[in-house]
Structure 1
Amino acid sequence: MRADARRNYERIIECARQAFTEHGPDAPLDDIARRACVGAGTLYRHFPNRDALIEAVYRARIEHLAGLAYELAETMEPMAALEQWLRDQVAYVLSEHSLALTLKSSMDQTSETFTMCRTMMTDAAAALLTPAQQAGLVRADLEPHDLIRLGHGIATACETAPDVAPRLLSVAVNGLRPVQE
């Protein structure tokens, strides 16, 4: 994709995310194009229909969160990276929970995008969990999806009291550590 086309694509995604947050998945596509400072033709060249745009917004958010895991795995010690990613995941779910629910409910749960996003998150969690397990820092019986459920569960439980999330996450992270016999 040319640089200008890439910028348009990214701007459309961000403006769509904002519009979907404000108005739900039925936000007017013309409004999204206007916000992105592109014509309707440009929007439809990138996204032939509303479903394609919804899936692209969801995929972009998941790609960002998964990308953070790999970045942290490369730049931090295993346990610190895992803890930071859990904090990032909780913050993401707290800040965009209603958007994610709206987008997920608008998507086919068996779609290629949904399946790809699930795999992307599981692989990202594994990139953090495996080194921590190999170093003996976390329980060996944990699975990558456990981390995803843990972060999502804490964020969901703290939706009405987000200031409690760091404390609950701290308690949960201590529970990830191997049991001392």
Structure 2
Amino acid sequence: MATSGSATTSKRPAKAVQDNAKSAAKPQDSSSADVCSKPLRADAARNRQKLVDVATTAFTEDVDTPLDEIAKRAGVGIGTLYRHFPTRCDLVLAVYGDQVAGLEQRSYDLPKELGPGEALHEWMRGFVGYYAVKMGLINLLRSMMQGNPETFESARNRMRASAERVLQPAIEAGVVRPDATAMELTRALGGVCLASSTPEGQETSLAVVDLIYDGLRFGAPNHS
């Protein structure tokens, strides 16, 4: 199958894709909400997001990174970390929720910036960065699923809705085949990323995602 011109021009390093997937969480994101129900002061909100950002990088590199090391890298005291995240599990769930929210936010933002086909393609590539972080946490997340089933069910539903949000306009524009579904798309992307957990593997995942996108275009009414 020949690679499309769009696939060639949109290739980016895996790190850039991961950075794009780390958008701020939406206010209704309960999986990454602060343990306190009151709105955070601006400085406290910055500290919390800094801790999540640092933890995202740290856990992707080494899931066993000590919490005091994360606090040190974020430039805050360990007491500040514990005020926001009383347990390690709270921080892990915040990182996971932040990634889900970031990819969800891209499903809103990309269609405003790009055409339907390009928006879908870029969202698919952003999925690689999201999954790279999830893979770093996979064992911890699995151990937490039983105690937090609603959190993970909500995340799955949000991911599927995000996929639908970028897939359906591309179908309606005739740039991808009309029989594709959001469930099939997220399963295909997850399967690709699951097989590649290293930085080199992420580059391979991006190349395979481009091939999947080309496959979606095959047989589309307006495919050229």
* Smaller-chain TM-score bracket: 0.7 to 0.9
Q: How does 1:26-105 map to 2 (within 5 A)?
A: 26-93=64-131, 95-96=132-133, 98-105=135-142
CA distance in 2, matches of 1:170, 1:21: 24
CA distance in 1, matches of 2:48, 2:116: 34
TM-score, normalization by structure 1: 0.83
Given the superposition, is the C-alpha separation of residues 19 and 90 from structure 1 closer, same or farther in structure 2, using an over 3 Å criterion? closer
For 1:179, the aligned partner's letter is G
Q: Shift of the alpha carbon at 1:165? A: 3.8
CA distance in 1, matches of 2:196, 2:58: 25
Q: Shift of the alpha carbon at 1:103? A: 4.3
Given the superposition, is the C-alpha separation of residues 128 and 4 from structure 1 closer, same or farther in structure 2, using an over 3 Å criterion? same
TM-score, normalization by structure 2: 0.68
Q: Deviations over 1:114-154 (max 9, x none)?
A: 22221221111111011112222223332212221222223
Q: Which runs of 5+ in 2 are unaligned?
A: 1-39
CA distance in 1, matches of 2:44, 2:220: 55
Contact 1:136 1:178 in 2 (8 A): no
Q: Shift of the alpha carbon at 1:54? A: 0.8
CA distance in 2, matches of 1:11, 1:180: 43
For 2:141, the aligned partner's letter is K
For 1:168, the aligned partner's letter is V
Q: Deviations over 1:68-127 (max 9, x none)?
A: 22211121111111111112223443x435314244224215533222221221111111
Report the number of matched residues.
179
Matched, 1:171 2:208: no
Given the superposition, is the C-alpha separation of residues 14 and 106 from structure 1 closer, same or farther in structure 2, using an over 3 Å criterion? farther
CA distance in 2, matches of 1:42, 1:97: 25
Contact 1:154 1:165 in 2 (8 A): yes
CA distance in 2, matches of 1:39, 1:162: 34
Tell me what 1:6 maps to.
Answer: 45
Specify which of 143, 147, 150 is matched with residue 181 of structure 2: 143
Say which SS state the counterpart of residue 174 (structure 1) adopts. Answer: helix
Contact 2:60 2:137 in 1 (8 A): no
Q: Shift of the alpha carbon at 1:53? A: 0.9
Matched, 1:19 2:58: yes
CA RMSD of aligned residues (A): 2.5
Q: Deviations over 1:39-80 (max 9, x none)?
A: 222212211211111100111112112212221112111111
CA distance in 1, matches of 2:58, 2:220: 50
Q: Which runs of 5+ in 1 are unaligned?
A: none
Q: Shift of the alpha carbon at 1:179? A: 3.2
Contact 2:92 2:137 in 1 (8 A): no
CA distance in 2, matches of 1:85, 1:66: 9
CA distance in 1, matches of 2:94, 2:52: 7
Tell me what 2:7 maps to.
Answer: none
Contact 1:108 1:114 in 2 (8 A): yes
Q: Shift of the alpha carbon at 1:158? A: 4.8
Specify which of 163, 168, 171 is matched with residue 125 of structure 1: 163
